[in-house]
């Protein structure tokens, strides 16, 4: 299933630079429209194609995405991955990408108009760069605790990111990373057996293969994502939820269960 013709890798039909944005989606009909509209309004000289992987969807994600793409003039390709799982969905979307630069996005995220251009310039500035990433902020966390965390989170995230850079464990997020096709293929793509943190795992393997300096962190490359898990579980339970997963995977070296599905009601 596709809304765009196949082109030569790395360029579009007119020979211009082509970047691919890969998005996994499981029942994201209520979110995908806003995400695609933000991608359609990018201010960049590069051509953009969006690869949307429908991961066992049972709602109208495909119909909503197709409608928005036609209305916004966005090049969209729909692909299917029937085996549910975030790593499998990201891998499927990346495998169908045509560009030499592949950007990872999430359906519940919104992208500033300079997102693509900042990434393109980062790769051009340093040919040795294999992966570019930036911070992710929450659109809004409900409640008084959320009011406080919304103001503290940027500081907390910055401290964690700097600590992780020192300890050589990059704090990379799936909604806001980009990688060259060559690096992605050389590390073998995402570890599809993982149930979570497939984004961190990919970055670590790139760093081991190409060296730590091949990863470029841009603090101004900010993306906003929904806080739906915090809103669903509550602030403190949500924090414990993530910390528990991180402890099991990174300290105990266990493959954690898949994140519980939380979707935004229309």
Terminus-to-terminus CA distance in the chain, angstroms? 25
Considering only residues 72 and 169, tell me which one the structure prediction assigns the higher pLDDT. Answer: 72
* CB burial readout 85-119, b (16+ within 10 A) else e: bbbbbbbbbbbbbbbbbbbbbbbbbbbbeebbbbb
pLDDT of residue 20: 98
Q: What is the pLDDT of residue 8?
A: 37
pTM of full prediction above 0.85: no
CA 121 to chain CA mean position, Å: 19
Q: What is the DSSP letter of 175?
A: G
Let me know if 242 is exposed, middle or buried by CB neighbors in 10 A (0-12, 13-18, 19+). Answer: middle
What's the CA gap between 258 and 245, in Å, rounded? 10
Q: What is the pLDDT of residues 62-87, one digit of tens each?
A: 999 999 999 999 999 999 999 999 99
All structural domains of the chain, each given as residue ranges with its CATH number in brackets, are: 18-251 (3.90.550.10)
């Amino acid at each position: 299933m596709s809304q765009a013709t196949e082109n030569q890798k790395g360029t579009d039909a007119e020979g211009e630079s082509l970047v691919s944005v890969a998005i996994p989606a499981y029942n994201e009909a209520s979110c995908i429209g806003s995400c695609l509209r933000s991608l359609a309004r990018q201010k960049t000289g590069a051509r953009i194609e969006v690869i949307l992987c429908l991961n066992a969807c049972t709602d109208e994600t495909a119909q909503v995405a197709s409608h928005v793409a036609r209305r916004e003039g966005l090049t969209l390709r729909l692909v299917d991955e029937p085996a549910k799982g975030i790593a499998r969905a990201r891998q499927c979307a990346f495998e169908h990408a045509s560009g030499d630069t592949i950007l990872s996005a999430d359906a519940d995220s919104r992208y500033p108009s300079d997102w693509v251009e900042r990434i393109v310039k980062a790769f051009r500035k340093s040919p040795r760069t294999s992966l570019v990433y930036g911070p992710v902020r929450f659109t809004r966390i409900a409640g008084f605790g959320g009011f406080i965390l919304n103001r503290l989170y940027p500081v907390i995230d910055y401290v964690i990111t700097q600590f992780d850079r020192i300890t050589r464990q990059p704090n990379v997020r799936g909604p806001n990373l980009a990688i060259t096709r060559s690096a992605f293929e050389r590390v073998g793509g995402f570890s599809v057996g993982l149930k979570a943190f497939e984004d961190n795992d990919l970055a670590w393997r790139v760093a081991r293969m190409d060296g730590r300096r091949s990863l470029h962190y841009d603090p101004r490359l900010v993306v906003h994502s929904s806080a739906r898990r915090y809103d669903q579980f509550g602030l403190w339970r949500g924090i414990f939820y993530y910390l528990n997963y991180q402890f099991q995977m990174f300290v105990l070296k266990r493959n954690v269960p898949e994140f519980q599905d939380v979707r935004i009601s229309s």
